[in-house]
Amino acid sequence: MLNQLIHQLISIDTNNCDASDTEELLSKILAQYCLDIGEKAPYFQFEYEKQMVLQVREKYPDYPIVRLAIITGINRHRVSKILKGEAYLRYSDKVDLLLNYLTSYCQRHNTQRIKKHGAFESFQYFCTVVANGTFTAAAMADELIEQGKIVDKGHFYYLLNLGE
Strands (E) in the chain, as ranges, are: 113-115, 150-153, 156-159
Domain membership of residue 164 (yes or no) is no
Q: Which domain holds residue 80?
A: 2-84
Taking the C-alpha atoms of residue 156 and residue 136, their distance in angstroms, rounded to an integer, is 17
Same domain as 100, residue 58:
no
Taking each helix axis from N to C end, the angle separating 94-109 and 123-131, rounded to the nearest 10 degrees, works out to 140
| Residue 44 within any structural domain of the chain | yes
pLDDT at position 162 = 61
Q: What is the mean pLDDT of each run of 10 residues along the chain (164 residues)?
A: 66 67 80 81 83 94 94 91 80 79 91 90 90 85 89 92 60
47 and 67, same domain (yes or no): yes
**Single residue among 49, 84, 119 that ends a domain in this structure:** 84
Helix (H) or strand (E) holding 95: helix 94-109
Residue 89: inside a domain? no
Residue where a domain terminates, one of 84, 110, 126 = 84
Same domain, 114 and 46: no
Residues 8 and 72 in one domain: yes
Q: What does the pLDDT read at residue 59?
A: 95
> How high is the pLDDT of residue 71?
94
Measure Cα distances from 36 to 3, 31, 49, 118, 127 in Å.
12, 9, 21, 38, 27
Domain assignment present for residue 30? The answer is: yes
Structural domain contains residue 9:
yes
Domain count, the chain: 2
pLDDT at position 157: 94
Output the pLDDT for position 16: 66
